[in-house]
Structure formats: structure tokens, C-alpha cells
Amino acid sequence: MELFLAMLFRLRTLRYALKKMKSKLLFLLTLLCWFALVPAIMHYAPSDRAQGIVQKIFYFHVPTAWVSFVGFLASFIYAIRYLRSRDLQYDLKSSAHAITGWLFTTGVLITGPIWAKPIWGDWWNWSDQRLVSFFILWLAYSGYIVLRLTMPDPEKKARFSALLSILAFLDVPLVYFAIRLWNTPSHPGAVIAGGKESGLASIEMKLTFWFAVVAFTLLYFLFYSMNYHFSALRARRLTKLSEEL
């Protein structure tokens, strides 16, 4: 019942957010990009010569990881700003970015094994440092969400959340540089800023990839907007309730 009410409240939050012009524009742009992205992945970008059609999940997997890192960076910045100012608005923004980033890391952990199984012959490789460090990142932000849900005092919750957000973010550079630091056994060279031997084989692949990054970035900020408005509305209701009591 509580889960149903939470989902209903989030739907009402989405409707409230869409009333604002910026949210409407963001929603429309995201929708248009995704209507164009799926045909681009399936028909415009050629299949990889070595991996075949299964490689096309790359256009979902990598942008999902990219926007999760953007979210964790934003959460890290707002966490520092909260600790310096003690302004709870920064706490709300930090938590909205962290939760949205966590949602996309979950997407990475779903798309990755689906891609890995036909290519590696297994769903997971515990000897791959990038996989392990990314899983630790997901666990850290899972703990962050549990902390937000279980700590009732707003000031205390904001302070501990900020500290955890800063500590958890330290794993992000480790995940990105894992390929360079350990020569990971499963992952190929980095696609972004990986040197002359990295990257995609054709211009169609490159254009589709960067378009996917744009589409996922828009989707990220749409989800972030929903999370932030949900958190802000909940905070206002709790403040009003405490004043009435």
C-alpha cells in the first residue's frame, strides 16, 4: 500500500513538474530524441564485425554509465555546498542527483551482463577491476539511499548524506581509470579519451553514440527534475506537518 501511494505521489509530482514550461520542453525534447534514437541504433549504425548485432547494446550501456557519473559529480558538488552553507536546498539537489545517478548505475548493471553473456560466455567476471569497482560504487549509493530513508532528523540526515556522497564519489575516477591502471581482462580500451586505438569503427557508429549520449543526458535531467520536485514537495509537507503539531 505504501509503495502504491509513493508511486501515485511520484505521478502527481511528474504532472506538477510538467506544468512548468522548462519541464514541458525537457519532456518533449527527451521524447523526440528517443523516438529518433532507437531507429538510429537499429538501422543507421552498422553492426560490429566481431560482435554482431549484440554490440548494439553498447549504445545503451555506455551512455547510461556516463550520465550516472555526471549525476554523482553533481551530487558531490552540492554535498560540498551544503556542508559549507547548511542550506537544505543543496541537500535536496545533492540527494536528487545521487538517487537519479543510482538509478542509471542500476541500468548499467542490467545492460552489462546482457552484453557480456554472448561475448564473454559469462554474466560477470569478478577478476575484472572495472566491474568490481563499479559494483562497489552501486553498493555505496545504495547505502546512501538507505540512509536517506531511515534517518528521520533532516539536519542529521543531510549532514551524513553529504559526507557519504563525497566519499562514494571518490570511486568514480577509479572506475573510469580502471582500464588504464590494471589492464582489465574483460573490457576493451576506453571509448572516450582512450587514445588513438580507442573509439568506434565508423562515422555512423560515432554519430549514433554521441546522439545516444545526448538522449540519455536529457532523460537523466528529466528524472532528476522529477526526483527533485518529489523531494522538495515532501520536505514542504513534513515542515508544514511539524508546524501544525
Closest by alpha carbon to 78, among 70, 24, 137? 70
Which pLDDT tens digit goes with each residue over 33-86?
A: 999 999 999 989 888 877 888 888 999 999 999 999 999 999 999 999 999 999
Distance CA 230, CA 215 (A): 23
Closest by alpha carbon to 105, among 77, 80, 56, 140? 140
Which pLDDT tens digit goes with each residue over 143-199?
A: 999 999 998 888 999 999 999 999 999 999 998 887 777 766 566 555 555 555 555
Distance CA 227, CA 104 (A): 13
Where are the chain's structural domains? 61-236
Average confidence (pLDDT) over 119-137: 86
Answering whether pTM is above 0.85, one says no
Q: Cα dihedral sign for 114, 118, 124, 130?
A: negative
Look up residue 69 and give its three cell numbers. Answer: 557519473
Name every residue whose Cβ is closer than 8 Å to that of residue 33 and which is 6 or more positions away in sequence: 211, 214, 215, 218
pLDDT at 65: 94
